[in-house]
Structure 1
Amino acid sequence: MALKPGNTTLMAAAAAAVLLALAGCGEKPTGSGQQSAVNPSSPVNTGTYAEGQPVKSKFNEFEDATAITYHQPEIPKGADVETLVKSEGKSTTVSLKVEGLEANRKFGAHVHVKPCGKEPGSSGPHYQNKKDPVQPSVDPAYANPKNEVWLDFKTDQDGNAQVESTVDWKFRPGEGRSIVIHAMPTMTEKGKAGMAGDRLACINIR
């Protein structure tokens, strides 16, 4: 049911995870929820978005954790998402699991620099290990899955998918704060590299 990049292997190290339910529609996302700890090494946030304020995490790793959808029915209110970010040595693994999205559909997804916000553009550009001096970045020398975290996936007949990516670097402090799901798979050609259409949803990860 999932599209998994070939260079991705989830390591058995202590993990930081977020489990949230997407909600809202259009440009006015709203939410409420609660937090719980499964165990000390695996902080988890859970919630179902309705009216209220974004979920506040009691874990430093996921301060102000939220899951916001900007488009229905592609990513409907009540859809679930789980993210996992693990660092070991010089590498970082990011995984994304979704349930209840539009079925049999391809999506683009990347780690972005800033946290999610009410507007789709609030999360800023893609996180890049080596920053492209020209923005927006569409040069494949910078906009590629080794310099960024790409998590493109295709949902199954139930709207579910799981994907992960491992890169040989760690996030800079204060950056790499969210995963944005886009309307189409990520382009790779020069002048369009990294582009993946509209921002459909955003999930805070750090």
Structure 2
Amino acid sequence: MDNKQVESLVRDAARRYRSIGVQAKALGNYSIGGGMTVSRLNQEDQLQDLHKRLRSMPSYMYLNAHEQKLETVAHAYLDKYPSGTKAQLAAIPKKGADLEDDRLLRELRSKVEKVVEARAGRQGDYDAVLERMAKLQALLEEKEQTDEAVRLVEEEREGFGRLIRLYYMEQRTADSAAMSLCVSRPTFFRWKPQAARMFLRVLEWQRG
């Protein structure tokens, strides 16, 4: 392939990379109810790790004053802490020892009810959510593969990976990219076809 054909293929890959970013953002922002998005659901493992860390910390370190009041009334009135949201709802008493406890218990019930309602209301969309999650994960994997190709090019020849990112992916002008790379225009245009060929070669290796 001549330089023009190589550059055309690299531009196609860069367009695909930018398109993936837009699609992933749109999929990630899709609401599945209860204030949860596909993107947040996709990060569930990270959230579980966070919850484990929080459980080992005193609650005053991550709850505000009002949330600590809710926690206190929950500890006072709940004999057990069931795991399911519907079981949690059933375990919360409707009356407290005084008006303040009544109010806090109502708020606690309301919060759990919203989660139950959101989950029940979205049950029919379960398959659609899974489909969106699968597509989001596939897009993120493809994006990461392209990022890895840029990193490998940079490792093989310093400046070449950055040239690919600046000029092709971020669509900087030649002058702007050359300035960021701290090289002259002649050097930039000498590097460009070499970097493009190297990047294309790495992409081909990745795709087998």
Determine which structure has the larger helix proportion and give its number.
2
Determine which structure has the larger strand proportion and give its number.
1
TM-score, length basis structure 2:
0.20
TM-score, length basis structure 1:
0.20
